[in-house]
Structure 1
Amino acid sequence: MPPTDASVNAGTVPIPVTEIGIATSPGTRERLITKTADEGADSEDTLDLRLPDDFLALFAGSTDADGERSWGGVGAAGPASVLSIAEDLLDRVADWGPISTPAGMLHLVPVHVERDLPIISRWMNDPAVAAFWGLGGPQAAAEEHLRSQLQGDGRSVPCLGMLEGTPMSYWEIYRADLDPLARHYPARPHDTGLHLLIGAVGDRGRGLGGTLLRAVADLVLDRRPACARVVAEPDIRNTPSVAAFLSAGFRFSTEIDLPAKRAVLMVRDRSLRHLL
């Protein structure tokens, strides 16, 4: 469970400083990698949910001749050995394609560190974003966060949100049932979580948070037949973020205590998607 709300509705969801985080942010989320001993006794721990070697072996042969995949000419997305696993755990995010929203066509493009790190790091250094995601400072901080997902077992896929072809948001699509978040609520198999950061200041305050959250939550439900719920855990203090989730068809499920925050568990149910 990554960040806390730091820009899901960056414009629709003002946060203490500005509004940047509607979906969750790394600063308040248990990290995907274990911290080293010199980082302090209060370091967050992680769930040791490693996939069995025989399971991973099922995907070993799915790489192409170059060992890489590329996306629409934007650049190689990364080693196929990593993406093949990620795409299977999350039903091939790279192949989900664009989705129409009231704000325009949105396309989630899996992050390629060499290509996307500069813009993601710049967004993370916005004070309003850094307050929730905790990834401000040198690019190395954002790079470690991205690589920990891309080199992991595929339970979380970081993406750039391209609106009408322009990168304007950062997303993390993750398996909530395999995430440390699962410790804190009655998770169900294939629960899928969302984290969203709206990057450009000019895109905030326009109500985009709720609009994009609804579109992506519905995209998840359309592309992941086994998933019955999309979840998120915004900081309870971030009223605008909670409001954005509600406007996107999520319901307020309960309050939960996470390592770095008290959060609201927001849920969008497949069975209620046409009612909310």
Structure 2
Amino acid sequence: MALQIIRLPDGQSYTVTPVFAGLFFKSRELSTHINAFPIGWSVVLHTQDDAGEAPPSADAETTPHVRSFTRPTLQNDKLFISSISNPSSNDFKPATSPTRQIAMMLWVTLYWYFHQPEPPSILHAEASKHTPESGKPRGEWRINIKRDGVLRGRNLIPKLERMGLISTLDSAVGVAMDDSEGWSRMFVSRKMFWQIPGRLFLFTLQPNASKPVHSHPGSPTSSRPGSPAIGEPARPHLSPTISHSTAADLPGAPPPMTLTSTPTYPIGPFYSSSHLPTYYPPAPPLFIMTDNIRHPVRPKPPRMGEVFYTRFIHSVGQYLSFRVASLSPKAVPHMGPIGPKPPSQSDLQTLSDTSLLQKWLANPRVSAFWGGYEQDFLTHALASKHSFPVIGMWDGVPFGYFEIYWVKEDALGRYIGSCDADDWDRGFHVFIGEDWARGRVKPWLTSLVHWSFCSDYRTMSICVEPRVDNKRFIQHLQYAGFSKDKEISFPHKQAWFGRLRRDAWDGPAF
């Protein structure tokens, strides 16, 4: 297996290098970012074939056939972290919680693993040996987590299970007094992994305050500028642009509207001045009535201009991000991560959101479904209590407009009835304003689903209701896993009502 680069949602990146019996994950950001991850860690990864696939021998039933990992299998891969390489304690403080640090490393490792080519989903069993391949049962892609190496600690595996990162099919307390029973068959499935909020596990080590923070701006003490990976252009050094007091309020505070240059480190949903995970669970439910509809009190959306989702899309080579639209007369500056190549169409970054909407809604392709621009279009969208307006961006360049809403209080909820609209079902409206961004539907479509399912575990389905003559978009929805429930006659349109349920979703597109 050749060297690979994995880019995390927060802008950090790692090189993944094959080593004896496994892989070494090395941070590429340690010498270029003030808030770096540990230098790296090694994992042991191998494939343990079923007894039926092992070569015949006298002890085939008791000795599994273990081979080196080359590509993922459906359920036969085994993984554990074997060693950790921490940075010098002179530069960074040790992790406050070693368990959190190991959980972060395991999450990054799984993030890499579930970006690998998907294995065939067919299950081979004695009961289906005479069934044609097309009719054999299908299984769920998962990887087994072995209680070995760094993960051998008595309480570590139980803690990782309680954090929701790993799971087991044995849900009994067990009768063994040493508590060793039931913790040997842990796993993570792909479907399970992509519903885990990354903000629950990603964090950074805190620089040692007893030493100067920079040897030059944006670089840890006594470090040198990082070298690009083979085949990648060198990254220009970027100067810091916002004060520490301003950065300490992010994320969650309104982003600054004036920047002199690009920040040295990405500021988005994962950034934390306290170097702690930025995930907060949703509030407990409190119900109210609105227009004779009983529904939960909704949490406030992110603030105007705030980025709430980022992810690197490998097929495009750019970071996809979503932020809340803003009424600011100035362009909202992008402070999040960008891909390895400078973005094109950067002139769009100089336009305010109002100007972007005027430009996009003047396009006949868009206005055919949305109508023309109205002066209070964005004001009304921002004032809604059950939805919020969103600008989609590729490497910080705006390309489209979205509205994410709660179905129960929306017009859709009234038309499908309370029996078909659960309390935490979400939906979205969309138009793509830029022609150059068309053809990238699956990444942003599945990313909206990804954010919705990670934002609240109680959201069980995502709903859409495009106009029935929007054939192309409906086809994209079906490719992404949405299925038609029925057609709905709104006063202004005949709609194709589709739904994607949580248990039918495998993960976002790459």
Q: TM-score range by the shorter chain?
A: 0.5 to 0.7
Q: Which residue of 2 aligns with 1:233?
A: 465
Q: Which residue of 2 aligns with 1:167?
A: 398
Partner letter of residue 429 of structure 2? H
Cα deviation digits, residues 33-81 of structure 1 (max 9, x gap): xxxxxxxxxxxxxxxxxxxxxxxxxxxxxxxx9xx94237579xxxxxx
Contact between 2:464 and 2:499, CA under 8 Å: does it hold in 1?
yes
Distance 1:91 1:184, change over 3 A: farther
Identical counterparts, % of pairs: 23
Q: Which residue of 2 aligns with 1:96?
A: 308
Contact between 1:156 and 1:175, CA under 8 Å: does it hold in 2?
yes
Distance 1:238 1:177, change over 3 A: same
User: In the aligned structure 2, how far is the partner of 1:249 from the partner of 1:105?
Assistant: 23
User: In the aligned structure 2, how far is the partner of 1:225 from the partner of 1:194?
Assistant: 18
User: In the aligned structure 2, how far is the partner of 1:268 from the partner of 1:152?
Assistant: 24
- Equivalent residue for 1:157, pick from 381, 388, 403: 388
Distance 1:249 1:100, change over 3 A: farther
Contact between 2:307 and 2:322, CA under 8 Å: does it hold in 1?
no
User: In the aligned structure 1, how far is the partner of 2:447 from the partner of 2:495?
Assistant: 23
User: In the aligned structure 2, how far is the partner of 1:73 from the partner of 1:213?
Assistant: 28
| Counterpart check, 1:272 vs 2:504 | yes
| Counterpart check, 1:108 vs 2:322 | yes
User: In the aligned structure 2, how far is the partner of 1:256 from the partner of 1:217?
Assistant: 22
Q: Which residue of 2 aligns with 1:71?
A: 255
User: In the aligned structure 2, how far is the partner of 1:87 from the partner of 1:227?
Assistant: 13
- Equivalent residue for 2:370, pick from 133, 141, 145: 133
Contact between 1:171 and 1:196, CA under 8 Å: does it hold in 2?
yes
Contact between 2:361 and 2:367, CA under 8 Å: does it hold in 1?
yes
Cα deviation, residue 175, structure 1: 1.0
- Equivalent residue for 2:423, pick from 182, 185, 189: 189
SS of 2:376's equivalent? helix
Cα deviation, residue 99, structure 1: 2.4
Partner letter of residue 134 of structure 1? G
Contact between 1:90 and 1:175, CA under 8 Å: does it hold in 2?
no
Cα deviation digits, residues 74-115 of structure 1 (max 9, x gap): 79xxxxxxxxxx981558894633123343321111111233
User: In the aligned structure 2, how far is the partner of 1:263 from the partner of 1:210?
Assistant: 21
Please, what is the CA RMSD of the aligned residues?
A: 2.8
User: In the aligned structure 1, how far is the partner of 2:358 from the partner of 2:423?
Assistant: 33
User: In the aligned structure 2, how far is the partner of 1:92 from the partner of 1:268?
Assistant: 27
User: In the aligned structure 2, how far is the partner of 1:149 from the partner of 1:255?
Assistant: 25
Contact between 2:309 and 2:451, CA under 8 Å: does it hold in 1?
no
Cα deviation, residue 127, structure 1: 0.7
User: In the aligned structure 1, how far is the partner of 2:408 from the partner of 2:503?
Assistant: 19
Cα deviation, residue 151, structure 1: 2.1
Cα deviation, residue 171, structure 1: 1.0
Contact between 1:195 and 1:232, CA under 8 Å: does it hold in 2?
yes
**How many residue pairs are counted as aligned between the two chains?**
192
Partner letter of residue 70 of structure 1? P
User: In the aligned structure 1, how far is the partner of 2:387 from the partner of 2:483?
Assistant: 23
Cα deviation digits, residues 143-162 of structure 1 (max 9, x gap): 41211121232x11101101
TM-score under structure 2 normalisation? Answer: 0.35
Matches for 1:250-269 after TM superposition, within 5 Å: 250-269=482-501
Highest relative contact order (Cα 8 Å, sep 6+), 1 or 2?
1
Indicate the structure (1 or 2) with the bigger Cα radius of gyration: 2
Partner letter of residue 169 of structure 1? G
Larger relative helix fraction: 1
Cα deviation digits, residues 168-207 of structure 1 (max 9, x gap): 1111111111111111112111111111111112222x2x
Contact between 1:98 and 1:106, CA under 8 Å: does it hold in 2?
yes
Partner letter of residue 177 of structure 1? K
Partner letter of residue 320 of structure 2? L
SS of 2:430's equivalent? strand
User: In the aligned structure 2, how far is the partner of 1:261 from the partner of 1:240?
Assistant: 17
| Structure 2 unmatched ranges of 5 or more | 1-248, 260-296, 330-351
Contact between 2:428 and 2:463, CA under 8 Å: does it hold in 1?
yes
User: In the aligned structure 2, how far is the partner of 1:265 from the partner of 1:171?
Assistant: 17
Distance 1:233 1:215, change over 3 A: same
Matches for 1:196-207 after TM superposition, within 5 Å: 196-204=430-438, 206=439
User: In the aligned structure 2, how far is the partner of 1:240 from the partner of 1:182?
Assistant: 25
Cα deviation, residue 232, structure 1: 0.7
